[in-house]
Chain A
Amino acid sequence: MDDALEIPSSDLKNVPTAEEPQDDQNSDDEEGGLDWTKLLPASARPVIPKRGEKEFEPRGAGGTNLQQHVLDRSRSAMFETLKSQRTISSKSVSYGTWYPSLGRTHVTTARGIHFSNMGHSAPRSVLGEDGVSKVQKRLELLPEEALYLIERGSLFCWYDRGTEPRIPDLPKDVDGTPMSVQQAFTEMIGRDGLTLEKFQVYSYLKRLGYVVTRTDPPDSYYPIPSDTGETSTHGHINLPVFTSIYSFLTSSISNVLRIVMGSMNWWKPIRIGRLWCASNKSYASLYRSLRFMPAGHNIPLNTRQPSEPTSPYKLFFNLYKPSTPFKKSAPPPPDFQIVVVNARTTPMPTLQELTNLFDQVPESPLPAPRPRRNLQPEGKEKSSPSETPTTPLKADVKAVSILQRFFLWFSPQTPKTEPTEPVRRINPFMALKTGKKIVIIAAVDTGNISFFRFGQGEFTEWSMA
């Protein structure tokens, strides 16, 4: 059903509606080929086997007559579909002029809903009717935006001949020469950091309905996520450092002290049974005292970087889900941020590159709704199992006499035990698998896009013991 959205077509009616049952479980769903027989007119549409099922067993050499027939039919349906001429209605097409000197396309006639989230306004000096140049705001498209619209047949583009721009009287009264799609590709790829890989990622995401903007503004008029987003980014960078340093200190304060003070006997790191302390003789405390290996993303990275100024790992696109309310002039903080690399020429990011990326990304909250949904019905049905773990604790506390509590209060080990146990009822596996900060890297291998999400893991915060 996702393929339906990817089919390049200027006419929405051509898009086959999702008739197949959704099988989101099938991971190959979005990777299977197009079923071209579907694009035939409904009257001529043949009955075809459901896509995704393959015949398991090879039969004969080169397939049987029936298989050959079915294959031929599908193939000719594809050719028929591709052969048909693509047309645009003159009422729905937009017009624009590509200014090679600027690297921007000035939209002279904007039609359709695309411009609700594409293009930005830029003040340019134009020649008025009276021959005096004045500054006027106009709608401009970035190279990828113009190219995407041209490719899908929504924009007709003229090539600026280099004369002083002037206010067009009529939409078609443009000073320039018409551009072909091929010319648009050669002109616009390579401008403003747009590589072919980036354009492929851009158009793929756009066809899926995402709103895609640049992370780094290509010019000063380009709207970027409002300052709230900016400051929150900075705030987020500082905040977790404090909290995690705090938690690091509190969770393993004795370990840190042992290492820093040099009192730790490295030949015998764990001393069990020496002390008579009750709190010292349990698996939980044993595991706690084992946690002295330096771990986590907050430890300073001592890597020495060979002078390598240009890393290909830079955040390039901001991504907004189709459901996210998007205002073009004041974009909200993005849902995801994407790096695009060429998988053939670029190896995986180094630790330093990943660290740099994570430093720019705000902390993402855990996807909360899912566990809540699970917990609530359980809590109603089964007399709240989420509370059961806490009740024995309370019982323990009650069993402890006042005198003992008094002593526990004084014994140095007890206070530190509290922060290590997470009070939040979050499935640790979900937290571990999500990560604290998320960067998406799209590795484009000659047209095939693999998206990977790199999550900043925090295993130290979720112990199993």
Chain B
Amino acid sequence: MSLITPSSRGKGSGTQQKAGGRRAENNRIYAHPLPLLFVDPPKTRMTSVLGLLGLSLTRVENPHCEGVFDPITRSVWVSKPEHSTILWRRGFFGKGDLSRSEPSWLARQINIKKNGGKQLTSEEVREKRRAERKQFKLDRAKAIAAVAEEAEKIFAEEGRVIAPALSGPNIPSAATWKPSPKPQPTEAETPEASEEPIPLVDLEPLEDVEHLQLTLQEAFFLLWNLDCLTVLDPDTLSPMPIKEIWLAFQRSELPPSISICVSGEDLQFDNPFLVNYVVYHHYRSLGWVIKGGIKFCVDYLLYKRGPVFAHAELALVVLPVYEDPADQKASNLDLQNSSPFAWSWLSTINRVNSQVQKTLVLVYVTIPARSRVPLKALQSPSCFSYYSIREVVLRRFIPARMRD
């Protein structure tokens, strides 16, 4: 599914072969779950001797990517294409700001210029699918209307009641319907159409204006644990030290204060950055690929291995829980979902997610009480040890189907 890579496809003829080929290629492109690489030195006698001693010369290759902190959008922008490619392919970090997920804007533009390149980007595949779906619905409606018209006629003329078929050989269904071949442009138009795009290709080369956007959680995970991301200050473009980043990421989520406290008195435990980071880190550490889930009314989606391999089967709703309800009253933040929501809302999100074969998981994150933990703890990531995560898996229970 990687669309940017020039691929060596076209050899496989059958669709099955194609799918298998794509899977193999995905396995190759997305072989590494994290940006760090473990490079084994070539096998020599020396390495085997060291191996016997439980030692190894395996080198850790750190890609050292670079990004600019953008406090307004609460994200880190990775502009170098080689860096964004690494971060996307090794762990599916970030999102192209002009794309659905993988930064593919440039590839799409090139496709348009070539007037329909063979390798469609995922956005283009989706557009095509939507157009086909629309046509299918129109065709089906037409067929149903025709059958209903016939039944109506019989009823009016003979008084017989025939239930108009809503499915059957004459009504196209999603399984049988096939897109009709593209309406061929009339021959008079063809030469003009084919003439035009050719000069376009020779125009000035396209500049990739897209960047990869990392959420603050993703950026902090990369720079704090793996040390493979350097975050630059938006004003000076100089690398920010980690202690500065820690405070800046927290402050970007807080309402602006008039005086910037150097002492850190302005920090608070219910900061959305901290709550979400705890969740993000927890599932990353368990090997999941965790991406945003706003399309499904949830906070996060969990992918096994990554979005190119399988659909997400689990949808997470983050539910922050204040250990001390007094902290919630005193807080200047209205933390999302921190109070239990209504059953109707639960039904809504559960319905949306079961429609797309996802299981809803309520992720409760406890926020340490101020009376228990001093605010000083927020000065460093050691405060994470005071939070805790619990999962509650939610599904509809249908008694009519549980009878055995």
| Interface residues, chain A, with chain B CB atoms under 8 Å away | 2, 24, 27, 29-30, 46-49, 53-57, 59, 64-66, 69-70, 73, 204-205, 208-210, 259, 264, 266-270, 272-273, 276-279, 281-283, 286-287, 290-297, 299, 301-304, 306, 321-323, 336, 343, 346-351, 354, 401, 403-404, 407-408, 411, 429, 432-435, 440, 443, 445, 450-460, 462-465
* Chain B contacts for A354, CB-based, 8 A: 392
* Chain A contacts for B388, CB-based, 8 A: 294-296, 299, 301
**Given known A47-B163, A454-B394, A455-B392, contact A301–B366 (CB-CB < 8 A):** yes
- Complex Cα spacing A266 to B285, Å: 16
- Complex Cα spacing A463 to B304, Å: 10
A-B contact count (CB 8 A): 261
* Chain A contacts for B325, CB-based, 8 A: 304, 306
Query: B141 → chain A, closest Cβ, in Å?
Result: 5
Among A270, A321, A435, point to the contact of B402 (Cβ < 8 A). Answer: A321
- Complex Cα spacing A278 to B53, Å: 9
Q: Which B-chain residue is minimally distant from A454 (CB atoms)?
A: B392
Query: A58 → chain B, closest Cβ, in Å?
Result: 10
* Chain B contacts for A279, CB-based, 8 A: 54
* Chain B contacts for A322, CB-based, 8 A: 403-404
* Chain A contacts for B401, CB-based, 8 A: 24, 30
| B 187-224 to A, binary, CB cutoff 8 A, 1 in contact else 0 | 00000000000000000000000000000000000001
Contact A57 B145 (CB under 8 A): yes
Pairs across A and B, CB under 8 Å, 28 listed: A47-B161, A55-B164, A59-B148, A66-B151, A66-B152, A204-B399, A205-B399, A266-B382, A267-B381, A272-B36, A276-B56, A292-B385, A294-B385, A296-B390, A299-B390, A302-B323, A303-B323, A336-B402, A403-B52, A407-B52, A432-B314, A451-B396, A452-B394, A453-B396, A454-B392, A454-B394, A459-B391, A463-B287
Q: Which A-chain residue is minimally distant from B400 (CB atoms)?
A: A2
Q: Does B380 contact A (CB under 8 A)?
A: yes
Q: Does B225 contact A (CB under 8 A)?
A: yes
Contact B281 A66 (CB under 8 A): no
Contact A455 B394 (CB under 8 A): yes
**Given known A259-B385, A293-B387, contact A208–B282 (CB-CB < 8 A):** no
* Chain A contacts for B137, CB-based, 8 A: 56
Contact B392 A457 (CB under 8 A): yes
Contact A443 B343 (CB under 8 A): yes
Main secondary structure of the interface of B (DSSP, over half): mixed
Q: Which A-chain residue is minimally distant from B155 (CB atoms)?
A: A66
| Interface residues, chain B, with chain A CB atoms under 8 Å away | 32-34, 36, 38, 50-56, 58-60, 137, 140-141, 144-145, 148, 151-152, 155-156, 161, 163-164, 166-167, 224-227, 242-243, 278, 281-288, 304-305, 313-314, 319, 321-326, 339-344, 346-347, 350, 354, 359, 361, 364, 366, 368-369, 372, 380-382, 384-385, 387-404
- Complex Cα spacing A118 to B261, Å: 69
- Complex Cα spacing A354 to B390, Å: 11
- Complex Cα spacing A266 to B155, Å: 79
Contact B286 A445 (CB under 8 A): no
* Further contacts, 15 of them, CB under 8 A, given A290-B281, A433-B359, A455-B393: A27-B398, A56-B140, A276-B55, A277-B56, A292-B285, A292-B384, A295-B388, A303-B366, A304-B324, A323-B403, A336-B402, A433-B313, A433-B393, A435-B393, A451-B399
Contact A455 B52 (CB under 8 A): no
**Given known A64-B152, A321-B403, contact A348–B346 (CB-CB < 8 A):** yes
- Complex Cα spacing A440 to B397, Å: 7
Contact A281 B58 (CB under 8 A): yes
- Complex Cα spacing A293 to B224, Å: 14
Contact B380 A267 (CB under 8 A): yes
**Given known A295-B389, A349-B340, A451-B396, contact A66–B287 (CB-CB < 8 A):** no
Q: Which B-chain residue is minimally distant from A407 (CB atoms)?
A: B54
* Chain A contacts for B224, CB-based, 8 A: 269
- Complex Cα spacing A209 to B402, Å: 11
Contact B51 A278 (CB under 8 A): yes
Interface centre among B54, B167, B227, B322, by most chain A C-beta atoms within 10 angstroms, is B54
Query: B282 → chain A, closest Cβ, in Å?
Result: 4
Query: A61 → chain B, closest Cβ, in Å?
Result: 15
* Chain A contacts for B368, CB-based, 8 A: 302
Q: Which B-chain residue is minimally distant from A210 (CB atoms)?
A: B399
* Chain A contacts for B343, CB-based, 8 A: 343, 346-348, 443, 445, 450
- Complex Cα spacing A301 to B323, Å: 8
Q: Which B-chain residue is minimally distant from A404 (CB atoms)?
A: B52
- Complex Cα spacing A404 to B87, Å: 36
Contact A457 B393 (CB under 8 A): yes
Contact B148 A64 (CB under 8 A): yes
Query: A51 → chain B, closest Cβ, in Å?
Result: 11
- Complex Cα spacing A70 to B398, Å: 31
* Chain B contacts for A451, CB-based, 8 A: 396-399
Contact A286 B144 (CB under 8 A): no
Contact A277 B54 (CB under 8 A): yes
* Chain B contacts for A282, CB-based, 8 A: 38
* Chain B contacts for A57, CB-based, 8 A: 141, 144-145
- Complex Cα spacing A338 to B60, Å: 53
* Chain A contacts for B283, CB-based, 8 A: 459
Contact A53 B60 (CB under 8 A): no
Among A205, A269, A281, point to the contact of B381 (Cβ < 8 A). Answer: A269
Q: Which A-chain residue is minimally distant from B347 (CB atoms)?
A: A450
Contact B399 A283 (CB under 8 A): no
